[in-house]
C-alpha cells in the first residue's frame, strides 16, 4: 500500500528538520499503524512524530486539518493539545528544581507559598501538589471566566480554599486547576510567567513550534477540532458529590472547553489545558528530556527519575470506572490507562485523543496529535506498533 511517505536519509549528517516526512528503515509497521488511525481523512487528520537518540525516525501527517477550507494536515499543522500541556508545564518545574530556582519535590508547598498553608494544606509537598494530591481538583467558590483566564488569580483562590479531602491523603485529577498551581510555582521562582519560561528555555532552544499562550500571528495555522463521532455517555449530576462536575464547569456552569479553545483562551496562559503545538515539536521536546537533541538536554537523568517517580496510583478520591491513570510529579506514568513503552516512560495524554511521552530506556520522544476529539486507542495503537519494532 502506498501512502506517499518516503524513507529519508537518516545519517548523522542529515539536517534535523521538523517539517519533512520521515520513515526510517524498519519503522514501516509504525507508519502503517498511524495511517490505520485515520478512518476518514476527509473530515479530520493527525500527525505523528517519533524521535530516537536525538533524531527523527518517523514524521508523518495525513487527513484534513480544516475541512471547510480544504486544508490538508501537515507536519507543521498546529493542534490544541489539551492536557499534554500539563506534561510540558511539569518539565518547566523540573528545570527550575534542577537548577535550584525552586526547592526539591519533597519540600512542603507552604515553605515557598505561605498563603497555601490555609486549612492545613501547607505540608503537602511540591511533588504531591503536582501529582493531583492537594485536594483542589475543583473550586469551592465559583470562578468567573476572567479569574479562570488569569492563572495566578485562580491560584490565589485555590490557596485560600479548604481542600476537598485531607490534602496529601488521596488523589484526583485536577483537570483545570493544575495549570494554575504550576503557574504559581513558576512565579515563585522568579519574575517570568510559565509560558515565558517555556518559550525561552524549552521550545526556543529546540526550535519547537509549541506555545502556552499562542501569539495571534499563528491563529491561521491551528486546525479546528472535529467533534467526537461517538455518542456522549449519559450521566446525571450527583448532588451528594458535586465536585467532579464543579471541576469541569468551575462551579459556574461555564463551558470551560469552549472557553479554552476560543480566541481569548488561546491568548491566556493556562498551563494545564491550552498548549498549541505541532507533533514534531512535542516529540522533540520529549526527546530532549531524555537524550541530547539538537545539542539540548532539558533535564538530567537524575531529574527525570525524580519527575517520573510514582506518587499517585490507583483508585482516585472520586472514583469513576477503571482503568485509572497514574502520575509522577505532574507527568503521567505507565498504568492500566496507558502503558507507554516501558516502566520508565513518562509524558501526558490530552483529552482530544493526543498521546505524548518520553522513554529514557529507548531514548524516545513520541507525539501523536489529532484534531478529531475522541479515544486514546488511536495513539496507543501506534505506540504498540513502535513497541514491537523496538523489540
Contacts of 68 (CB under 8 A, 6+ apart): none
Average pLDDT over residues 180-206: 98
Does the domain at residues 22-82+274-315+326-390 carry the CATH identifier 3.90.79.10?
Answer: no
C-alpha cell at 236: 446525571
Q: What percent of the chain has pLDDT over 90?
A: 88
pLDDT for position 15 = 37
The more confidently predicted of residues 308 and 6 is 308
Which position has the higher pLDDT, 2 or 341? Answer: 341
Looking at residue 39, its pLDDT comes to 74
DSSP string, 203-251: IHHHT--EEES--GGGGGGBPPPB--SSPPPP----TT--HHHHHHHTT
Return the closest-CA partner of residue 175 out of 239, 245, 97: 245
Report the candidate in 270, 13, 256 with the shortest Cα–Cα distance to residue 144. 256
Tell me the three cell numbers of residue 203: 521550545
Q: Rounded to whole angstroms, how far apart are CA atoms 91 and 198?
A: 9
pLDDT of residue 241: 76
Statement: residue 245 has pLDDT above 50: yes
Nearest CA-CA partner of 62 in 46, 81, 39: 46
By percentage, how much of the chain surpasses pLDDT 70? 93
pLDDT band at 13 (very low <50, low <70, confident <90, very high): very low
Name 58's bridge partners.
23, 50
- Give residue for cell 533535564: 299
Q: At residue 12, does pLDDT exceed 90?
A: no
Per-residue pLDDT of 76-95, as tens digits, reads 999 999 999 999 999 999 99
In this prediction, residue 4 carries a pLDDT of: 39
Contact assessment for residue 212 and residue 70, using Cβ atoms and an 8 Å cutoff: no
Every domain of the chain and the residues it spans = 22-82+274-315+326-390
User: Please, what is the end-to-end C-alpha distance for the chain in angstroms?
Assistant: 24
> Given a cut of 50, is residue 3 above it in pLDDT?
no
Mean pLDDT along residues 107-119:
98
Q: What is the mean pLDDT of residues 36-65?
A: 94
Cα 102 to Cα 92, 186, 193, 269: the distances in Å are 11, 8, 14, 20
Write out pLDDT tens, residues 155-169.
999 999 999 999 999
Per-residue confidence (pLDDT) for residue 2, from 0 to 100: 34
Structure confidence at residue 7 (pLDDT): 43
Q: Examine the pLDDT at 327 and tell me if it is beyond 90.
A: yes
Alpha helices in the chain (DSSP H): 28-36, 84-98, 109-112, 126-130, 145-148, 151-159, 178-188, 194-198, 204-206, 243-249, 256-260, 263-267, 279-290, 301-308, 377-390
Q: What is the pLDDT of residues 219-242, one digit of tens each?
A: 999 999 998 877 766 554 555 578
Say which residue, 175 or 41, is predicted with more confidence: 175
pLDDT of residue 16 exceeding 50 = no
- Per the CB < 8 A criterion, the answer to whether 198 and 183 are in contact is no
Quick one: 220 exposed, middle or buried, by C-beta within 10 A (0-12, 13-18, 19+)?
exposed
Q: What is the mean pLDDT of the chain?
A: 93
pTM: 0.94
* Mean pLDDT computed over 243-251: 94
* Rounded Cα distance, 306 and 318, in Å: 27
Amino acid at each position: 500500500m502506498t501512502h506517499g511517505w518516503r524513507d529519508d536519509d537518516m545519517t548523522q549528517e542529515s539536517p534535523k528538520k521538523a517539517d519533512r516526512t520521515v520513515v526510517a528503515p524498519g519503522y514501516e509497521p509504525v507508519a502503517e499503524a498511524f495511517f490505520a488511525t485515520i478512518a476518514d481523512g476527509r473530515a479530520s487528520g493527525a500527525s505523528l512524530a517519533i524521535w530516537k537518540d536525538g533524531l527523527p525516525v518517523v514524521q508523518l501527517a495525513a487527513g484534513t486539518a480544516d475541512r471547510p477550507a480544504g486544508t490538508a494536515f501537515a507536519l507543521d499543522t498546529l493542534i490544541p493539545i489539551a492536557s499534554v500541556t500539563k506534561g510540558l508545564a511539569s518539565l518547566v518545574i523540573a528545570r527550575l528544581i534542577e537548577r535550584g530556582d525552586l526547592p526539591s519535590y519533597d519540600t512542603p508547598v507552604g515553605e515557598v507559598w505561605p498563603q497555601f498553608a490555609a486549612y492545613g494544606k501547607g505540608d503537602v509537598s511540591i511533588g504531591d501538589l503536582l501529582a493531583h494530591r492537594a485536594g483542589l481538583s475543583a473550586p469551592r467558590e465559583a470562578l468567573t471566566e476572567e479569574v479562570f483566564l488569569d492563572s495566578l488569580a485562580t491560584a490565589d483562590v485555590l490557596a485560600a480554599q479548604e481542600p476537598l479531602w485531607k490534602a496529601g491523603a488521596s488523589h484526583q485529577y485536577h483537570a483545570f486547576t493544575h495549570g494554575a498551581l504550576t503557574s504559581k510555582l513558576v512565579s515563585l521562582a522568579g519574575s517570568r510567567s510559565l509560558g515565558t519560561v517555556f518559550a525561552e528555555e524549552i521550545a526556543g532552544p529546540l526550535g519547537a513550534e509549541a506555545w502556552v499562550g499562542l501569539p495571534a500571528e499563528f491563529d491561521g495555522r491551528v486546525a479546528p477540532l472535529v467533534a467526537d463521532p461517538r455518542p456522549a455517555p449519559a450521566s446525571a449530576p450527583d448532588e451528594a458529590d458535586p465536585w467532579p462536575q464543579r471541576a469541569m464547569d468551575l462551579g459556574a456552569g461555564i463551558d470551560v472547553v469552549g472557553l479554552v479553545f476560543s480566541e481569548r483562551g488561546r491568548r491566556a496562559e493556562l498551563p494545564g489545558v491550552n498548549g498549541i503545538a505541532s507533533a514534531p515539536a512535542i516529540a522533540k521536546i520529549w526527546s530532549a528530556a531524555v537524550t541530547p537533541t539538537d545539542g539540548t538536554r532539558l533535564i538530567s537523568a537524575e531529574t527525570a527519575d525524580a519527575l517520573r517517580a510514582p506518587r499517585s496510583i490507583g483508585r482516585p478520591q472520586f472514583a469513576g470506572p477503571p482503568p485509572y491513570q497514574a502520575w509522577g510529579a505532574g507527568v503521567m506514568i505507565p498504568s492500566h490507562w496507558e502503558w507507554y513503552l516501558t516502566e520508565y516512560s513518562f509524558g501526558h495524554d490530552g483529552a482530544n485523543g493526543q498521546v505524548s511521552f518520553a522513554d529514557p530506556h529507548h531514548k524516545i520522544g513520541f507525539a501523536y496529535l489529532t484534531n478529531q476529539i475522541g479515544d486514546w486507542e488511536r495513539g496507543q495503537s501506534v505506540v504498540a506498533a513502535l513497541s514491537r519494532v523496538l523489540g
